[in-house]
Chain A
């Protein structure tokens, strides 16, 4: 529960900023603006949990989707593969994100890769790709680097530089986590194949930092909230400072349904449902929209008006377009001896040997492979989804394999690029509504052929590595076109050209001068599959520019 003694503002107080969303971007921006002296109201649709509320209850977390507001049944998100189909409400919500103060930084796994210099300029380096909106970023790695470093030190990242990482201005504040058995096996296999392996950087503290404790290696990271605040969520790392500033009110369980503009075409107030379901409106001088790469475009589209019939901030038509999930593939393996990979953070070693796109492969894209327990992190998911593919999935033989395999299993998990395409997008469903009555978000998504080729490539390399590492048995998860994603990227991209982007290089809407948008939606390309480090760096950078603009009366 939120502390009762926090600063509060009246609805008709015109606060300096309303920040919509308290996740990886919103949590940082709220902290930065409030500690700079601006009055801030944060509207968060999920509850205000604290570390004491987090459990190791795999049934509640994975099956009942406790941290995702119960999933599909409440969100009523819909999915379709292609335009023209009638979208349906699937069993698992297609946009997978955590609902609550701290957003998805609460339930993320904490793998924290920076982008490389090449990520920002790939379009220039590689040329156009037909059927896509592949583009360079308006900013460079060099411009973002100081903010990556702020994430390292202020959010808390543990690690050590990899051999091919782009430059960094300062070392990690904390060393990497100890190598796990899965990491040892990855090194063994990669060494035989001549591939580079490096320690995984984590947004989890390997030791005390900034008044927070180090990790206890409980292993309940992926999908769970951290009960000791060692995971570097904005809930643990940013929200306490925002509230202590005396300039920030966090309103949890408040679901925004519309941003209103006035006759001067400025964003003037934010309409939301309070915890009792009553309509409220908070006046503000400026608005920062950080609701995530699915909810941000949905809110803009749901804020259509006579002046903005295609949705707010959407003169380009790019709001909701270019959705990227990142490509994924995995291979599961069993080894002779127990790894006990369920202990500790998920990943201790990764291969970035295939990070760069290589035209010789015949397709665009690159990615990383990491070693992790994945489904074998908890017995429930392992028994339901991690068992061997052959034979009966019940009975004595099934049970014998569970007993043998749980501690001896590891996955190689490949993550890589997705290409931005107009056809992959967020729109508003014409019939369904969520539990608040807001028109549902509809996802249309079909991976690009190159994304599929990359997934197969990463899976092939993973299988080779596991073989070289001495796996007694390995099998591949079938690769299908993706129907859901936890990485929600590209849907309000940043750019210098107002006809080809939604926000400028400082995250200000091209159309509405006092509306700023910063989250996964800002990303122009997808990176290689661990985007939150970049979302957080963008947030620190955006906050700095927004504060400077406000101080100069330029908002």
Chain B
């Protein structure tokens, strides 16, 4: 399904909800509105397996700068934080404590650089980006980037990529993953020319 078709579908879904309707009035594109509606509903009910709500808010904020919500959904709508939570309570359980320590160091840097701020999520978006650029080479940022991308583009069974938002974002159809040619613009054009050529020659 193309992004355009997806947007149409989500527009119809989103417009049926109170929040969806409100966001449409506010001029938020339907795709985002629908994603955010579902995401908010989920967050309301969410209890994290290992993250505290403060930690979750920080990871949500960092992930949202790595893959921000623009005119299309980002890490927030994909539920990347649930990937962090799943990972730190299962296959990356041994990294949960080091990650907490790195997060604390990351936050200490925020407090030192921006008077009055305690959390990364206290900063406005410009300051968040500026601060992230200053820590780009740190293990914390590198790890957060990997976790965010895995949370958006990995399988939804790990908690992120909710409703395959990440795959739809880049234009990947499915699942299910099973197709027949033509697959893309150039082979479709090629097949049309071949068919046309055969007809001409017939």
Q: Is the CB of A342 within 8 A of B66?
A: no
Question: Across the two chains, which residue of chain A brings its CB closest to B83?
Answer: A59
Question: Would you list the 7 A-B pairs with minimal beta carbon distance, nearest first?
Answer: A337-B185, A181-B184, A406-B170, A181-B186, A178-B181, A340-B184, A343-B183
* Cβ contacts under 8 Å, B24 to chain A: none
- How long is the Cα–Cα vector from A400 to B72 in the complex, in angstroms? 9
Q: Which B162-198 residues have C-beta < 8 A from chain A?
A: 166-167, 169-173, 175, 177-187, 189-190
6 contacts between A and B (CB under 8 A): A58-B153, A216-B177, A216-B178, A338-B185, A379-B166, A399-B70
Binds B, one of A255-263, A294-302, A380-388, A498-506: A380-388
Chain A residues with Cβ under 8 A from B148's Cβ? 394
Complex CA distance for A383 and B74, rounded to whole angstroms:
13
CB-based contact B150/A407 at 8 Å: no
Instruction: Give Cα A219 to B142, complex, Å.
Output: 29
Is A64 an interface position by the 8 A CB rule?
A: yes
- Interface contacts (Cβ under 8 Å), in number, total 130
Contact of B150 with A59 in the complex, beta carbons under 8 Å: yes
Q: Does B132 contact A (CB under 8 A)?
A: yes
CA A181 to CA B148, docked complex, whole Å: 31
Interface residue B56 (Cβ < 8 Å from any Cβ of A): no
The docked-state distance in angstroms from the alpha carbon of A184 to that of B170 is 22
Q: Does B149 contact A (CB under 8 A)?
A: yes
Over the window 182-226 of chain A, the binary record of Cβ atoms lying under 8 Å from chain B Cβ atoms (1 yes, 0 no) is 011100000000000000000000000000000011111000000
Are B155 and A56 interface neighbours, CB within 8 A?
yes
Q: Within the assembled complex, what's the spacing in Å between the Cα atoms of A493 and B150?
A: 42
Name A337's contact: one of B68, B154, B172, B186 (CB within 8 Å).
B186
Chain B min CB distance to A390 (Å): 15
**B154 pairs with A59, CB closer than 8 A:** yes
Q: A178-B182, A180-B181, A383-B153 known; 17 other A-B pairs, CB under 8 Å?
A: A179-B181, A180-B187, A181-B183, A181-B187, A183-B187, A184-B187, A216-B178, A219-B179, A339-B185, A379-B153, A382-B153, A394-B65, A398-B67, A399-B70, A399-B74, A403-B170, A406-B171
B183 and A396 within 8 A (CB)? no
Q: What is the CB-to-nearest-CB distance from B2 to chain A, in angstroms, rounded to a whole number?
A: 9
The reply to whether A395 and B155 contact each other, CB–CB distance below 8 Å, is no
**Shortest distance between the CB of A384 and any CB in chain B (Å):** 6
In terms of DSSP, what is the predominant structure of the interface of chain A? loop
| Contact status A395-B65, CB under 8 Å | yes
A393 within 8 A of B: yes
In the bound complex, do residue B183 and residue A340 qualify as a contact, i.e. CB atoms below 8 Å apart?
A: yes
Interface size of A in residues (CB-CB distance below 8 Å):
46
B63 to chain A, nearest CB (A): 10
CB distance from B121 to the nearest CB of A (A): 17
Set A338, A344, A380: member contacting B179, Cβ < 8 A:
A344
Interface size in chain B (residues, C-beta < 8 A)? 44
Give CA–CA (A56, B170) in the complex, Å. Answer: 17
B68 near A395: Cβ-Cβ < 8 Å: yes
B145 within 8 A of A: yes
* A453 partner residues in chain B, CB cutoff 8 A: none
Of all chain B residues, which has the CB nearest A344? B183
* Interface pair B149/A403, CB less than 8 Å apart: no
Shortest CB-to-CB span from B61 to chain A, Å, is: 13
Say whether A394 contacts B66, CB under 8 Å: yes
Q: Residues of A with Cβ closer than 8 Å to B?
A: 55-59, 63-64, 178-181, 183-185, 216-220, 335, 337-344, 378-380, 382-384, 392-396, 398-400, 402-403, 406-407
Nearest neighbor of B70 in chain A, beta-carbon distance: A396
> B154 touches which one: A216, A380, A394, A395 (CB < 8 A)?
A380
A456 to B35 Cα, complex, angstroms:
46
Q: Which residues from chain B contact A379 at a C-beta distance below 8 Å? A: 153, 166-167, 170, 172
B68 in contact with A402 (CB, 8 Å): no
Contacts A337-B186, A384-B149 known; A394 to B132 CB distance under 8 Å?
A: yes
Give bound CA distance, A399 to B132, whole Å: 16
Residue of B132, B170, B172 most packed against chain A (CB within 10 A) = B170
Partner pick for A179 among B65, B133, B157, B190, CB 8 A cutoff: B190
- Indicate if the CB atoms of A63 and B150 lie closer than 8 Å: yes
Tell me the bound Cα distance from A462 to B91 in angstroms: 40
Contacts of A217 in B (CB 8 A): 178-181, 183
Query: CB within 8 A of A394: which of B67, B155, B175?
Result: B67
Given known pairs A217-B180, A340-B183, A406-B170, the reply for A383 and B152 (CB within 8 Å) is yes
CB of B167, distance to nearest CB on chain A (Å):
6
Q: What residues of chain A lie closer than 8 Å to B178, measured between beta carbons?
A: 216-218
Beyond A382-B170, A407-B170, A407-B171, whether A180 also contacts B155 by CB under 8 A is no
Distance in angstroms from A502 CB to nearest chain B CB is 41
Whole-angstrom distance from the CB of B93 to the nearest CB of chain A?
14
Q: Assuming A395-B68, A402-B170, A406-B171, is B149 touching A380 (CB within 8 A)?
A: yes
CB neighbours (8 Å) of B146 from chain A are 384
Q: Say yes or no: B145 contacts A338, CB within 8 Å.
A: no
Instruction: Give the CA-CA distance A383 to B148 in the complex, in Å.
Output: 10
Query: Is B158 on the interface with A (CB-CB < 8 A)?
Result: yes
Q: Which residues of A contact B169 (CB under 8 A)?
A: 402-403
Contact status A395-B181, CB under 8 Å: no
In the complex, chain B residues whose CB is within 8 Å of the CB of A394: 65-67, 132, 145, 148
What CA separation (Å) do A344 and B178 show in the bound complex? 8
Does any Cβ of A come within 8 Å of B129's Cβ?
A: yes
**In whole angstroms, how far apart are the Cα atoms of A58 and B152 in the complex?**
12
Chain B, Cβ-Cβ closest to A336: B185
B114 to chain A, nearest CB (A): 19
| Distance A55 CA – B177 CA, assembled complex (angstroms) | 11
The CB with the most chain A CB atoms within 10 A, among B66, B74, B145, B187, is that of B187
Does A337 lie within 8 Å of B187, measured CB to CB? no
Q: CA of A120 to CA of B99 in the docked complex: distance in angstroms?
A: 55
Neighbouring A residues of B173 by C-beta, 8 Å: 340, 343
B183 and A341 contacting across the interface, CB-CB below 8 Å: yes
Cα A384 to Cα B149 with chains together (Å) = 7
Chain A residues with Cβ under 8 A from B167's Cβ? 379
Say yes or no: B184 contacts A407, CB within 8 Å.
Answer: yes
Question: Which residues in A have their C-beta under 8 angstroms from that of B189?
Answer: 184
Q: Which of A180, A335, A392, A406 contacts B183 (CB 8 A)?
A: A180
A416 CA / B175 CA spacing, docked (Å): 35
Min distance, Cβ B25 to any Cβ of chain A, angstroms: 25
Task: Write the chain A residue with the least CB distance to B150.
Answer: A59
Q: Which residues of B contact A216 (CB under 8 A)?
A: 177-179
Tell me if A339 and B154 are in contact (CB < 8 A).
Answer: no
Q: Bits for B115-140, please: 1 = Cβ < 8 Å to A, else 0.
A: 00000000000000100110000000
| Given the contacts A180-B181, A340-B183, A341-B184, A403 and B154 also touching, CB distance less than 8 Å | no
Q: Please name the residue on chain B nearest to A405 by beta carbon.
A: B170
A64 touches B91 (CB 8 A): yes
